[in-house]
Amino acid sequence: MPTLDDLRNDVADVLGEDPADLPFDEDLRDLGLDSIRLMTLVERWRARGLTADFTELAEAEPTLTGWHALLTA
């Protein structure tokens, strides 16, 4: 299972940001996350064995906390 910090590091990587600059409850769209970057994350997480669904993540609360809840449910 991914930790909240694991997700934060992955999202920061695709956004080209420092993980420390990504609040857990910030809307990731406001930080520059778009559908292409989301697809990159989905592919990365699937390669690690996570059940990540693009549509579910796109429709979920677009925060690290929201995604963590979805991916670890």
Dihedrals φ, ψ of 3, to 5°?
-85, 165
Q: What is the pLDDT of residues 2-35, one digit of tens each?
A: 999 999 999 999 999 999 999 999 999 999 999 9
Question: At 71, which amino acid appears?
Answer: L
Q: What percent of the chain has pLDDT over 90?
A: 93
How far is 68 from 5, CA to CA, in rounded Å?
A: 10
Q: Which domains does the chain have, with CATH numbers?
A: 4-71 (1.10.1200.10)
Mean pLDDT (the chain, rounded): 95
How far is 51 from 3, CA to CA, in rounded Å?
A: 14
Exposed/middle/buried for residue 28 (C-beta within 10 Å: 0-12, 13-18, 19+): buried
C-alpha atoms less than 13 angstroms from C-alpha of 9 in its C-beta half-sphere: 7
pTM: 0.93
